[in-house]
């Protein structure tokens, strides 16, 4: 029997196992994939930011940034960490005003960020289109890392600390008696607590325990170019809406490739992973307009993954349903950047070590909320 069974060895489940194992909690992770990070984690483009409008997300991301930025120094694994920062640019008065209005709250939450003039943004992102540029925010301590290398590093460390992983097994039922019985297509396991970290399948896994989790995946596409010599540092985010897309973002990875993604508008619901012929022309026109120098770089490949969305763009984290059943789901495409922070909060909750900040996060991300409004920088 285990103390905890985690369902899902992805962006959230694997670092949660690591944090539990650090506290000596006997943990088993079950995943249908053949290794860690084989779901939406491997579709992530690698950005890690604390630049959110929600204080709870900022808190989680600041913890995650500490994990990513210090990992190689502490554990010796090169996970591709690069502190290039994030910039949200403004080409309209409406976006300029909205971004500047959010800065004081972000600073109060502990984020190193401020508003920069158009001239300053041109220095931060050399080559950006100056026509109509009004300025932008810049958070220099945000960055990026390799989703694959990070997942494998977290997995190795969790195993070293005693966590167990069962790959290639699909959970088929969860029953609660005096303990939980988790049944898969290959076996049966018992535990005192279950954590649902099933990503796009979070709702289905919740239903097995009689919990309705409002997690509705939609599909996003991304791409990567050939490697070139570094010519800019931050993740560049344009939140202006045009026909077919709500925003897009791109950055130059530590090994030189430019990685990019777009947010479809309206959303495209589903769990499909087949890329489309429409994506590249759509995103390319936006990227080249914002950064003309990208026009001559060749795209190597594109892919599609899922964003497990909630109605308000905020994850669901904490105790849900029967006693001992927890969820850390609905990351809305931000599981990679929120995962280590969410794992720490979950581990402290189960160990009875929750801090005041943890309680703030758990209150903001509880299932029993109104799901009204939306996170401004989701």
Q: Going residue by residue through the chain (378 aa), what tens digit of pLDDT does each one get? A: 999 999 999 999 999 999 999 999 999 999 999 999 999 999 999 999 999 999 999 999 999 999 999 999 999 999 999 999 999 999 999 999 999 999 999 999 999 999 999 999 999 999 999 999 999 999 999 999 999 999 999 999 999 999 999 999 999 999 999 999 999 999 999 999 999 999 999 999 999 999 999 999 999 999 999 999 999 999 999 999 999 999 999 999 999 999 999 999 999 999 999 999 999 999 999 999 999 999 999 999 999 999 999 999 999 999 999 999 999 999 999 999 999 999 999 999 999 999 999 999 999 999 999 988 776 666
Chain centre to alpha carbon of residue 211: 23
d(CA 365, CA 360): 9
Q: What is the pLDDT of residue 378?
A: 60
Q: Specify the CATH class of 2-72+146-215+311-364 in words.
A: alpha beta
Q: Superfamily for 82-140+217-305?
A: D-Amino Acid Oxidase, subunit A, domain 2 (3.30.9.10)
Which phi and psi (to 5°) does residue 237 adopt? -120, 125
Those residues whose C-beta lies under 8 Å from the C-beta of residue 327, and which sit 6 or more positions away, are 195, 196, 197, 202, 206, 211, 213, 316, 317, 318, 320, 367
Rg from Cα positions in the chain: 20
Q: What is the pLDDT of residue 376?
A: 65
Q: What is the pLDDT of residue 373?
A: 72
DSSP for 309-360, please give it: E-TTS--EEEE-SSTTEEEEE--TT-HHHHHHHHHHHHHHHHHT---HHHHH
Q: Where in the chain is the domain with CATH 3.50.50.60?
A: 2-72+146-215+311-364
d(CA 314, CA 97): 23
Indicate if the alpha-carbon torsion angle 210, 196, 332, 280 is positive or negative.
negative
Indicate if the alpha-carbon torsion angle 306, 144, 364, 88 is positive or negative.
negative
Q: What is the pLDDT of residue 27?
A: 98
Residue range 166-203, pLDDT digits in tens: 999 999 999 999 999 999 999 999 999 999 999 999 99
Q: Report if pTM > 0.85.
A: yes
d(CA 208, CA 191): 15
Residue range 333-359, pLDDT digits in tens: 999 999 999 999 999 999 999 999 999
Q: Where in the chain is the domain with CATH 3.30.9.10?
A: 82-140+217-305
Q: What is the pLDDT of residue 170?
A: 98
Q: What is the pLDDT of residue 20?
A: 98
């Amino acid at each position: 029997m285990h103390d905890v069974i985690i369902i899902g060895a992805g962006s959230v489940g694997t670092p949660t196992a690591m944090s539990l194992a650090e506290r000596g909690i006997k943990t088993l992770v079950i995943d249908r994939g053949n290794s860690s990070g084989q779901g939406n984690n491997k579709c992530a483009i690698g950005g890690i930011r604390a630049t959110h409008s929600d204080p709870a997300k900022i808190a989680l991301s600041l913890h995650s940034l500490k994990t990513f930025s210090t990992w190689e120094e502490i554990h010796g694994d090169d996970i591709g960490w690069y502190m290039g920062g994030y910039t949200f640019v403004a080409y309209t008065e409406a976006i300029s005003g909205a971004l500047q209005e959010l800065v004081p709250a972000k600073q109060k939450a502990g984020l190193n960020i401020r508003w920069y003039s158009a001239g300053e943004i041109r220095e931060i992102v050399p080559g950006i289109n100056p026509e109509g540029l009004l300025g932008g925010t810049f958070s220099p301590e945000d960055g990026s890392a390799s989703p694959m290398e990070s997942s494998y590093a977290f997995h190795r460390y969790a195993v070293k600390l005693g966590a167990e992983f069962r790959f290639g097994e699909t959970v088929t039922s969860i029953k609660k008696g005096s303990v939980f019985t988790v049944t898969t297509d290959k076996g049966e396991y018992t535990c005192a607590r279950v954590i649902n970290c099933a990503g796009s399948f979070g709702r289905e896994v919740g239903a097995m325990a009689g919990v309705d989790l409002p997690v509705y995946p939609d599909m996003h596409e991304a791409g990567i170019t050939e490697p070139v010599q570094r010519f800019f540092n931050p993740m560049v985010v344009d939140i202006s809406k045009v026909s077919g897309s709500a925003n897009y973002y791109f950055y130059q990875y530590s090994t030189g490739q430019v990685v990019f993604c777009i947010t479809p508008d309206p959303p495209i619901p589903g769990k499909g992973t087949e890329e489309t012929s429409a994506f590249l022309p759509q995103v390319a026109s936006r990227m080249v307009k914002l950064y003309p120098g990208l026009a001559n770089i060749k795209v190597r490949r594109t892919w599609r993954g899922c964003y497990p969305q909630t109605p308000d763009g905020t994850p669901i984290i904490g105790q849900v349903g029967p006693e001992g059943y927890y969820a850390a789901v609905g990351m809305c495409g931000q599981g990679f950047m929120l995962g280590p922070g969410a794992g720490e909060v979950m581990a402290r909750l189960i160990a009875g070590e929750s801090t005041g900040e943890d309680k703030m996060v758990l209150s903001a991300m509880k299932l029993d909320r109104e799901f009204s409004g939306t996170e401004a920088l989701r």
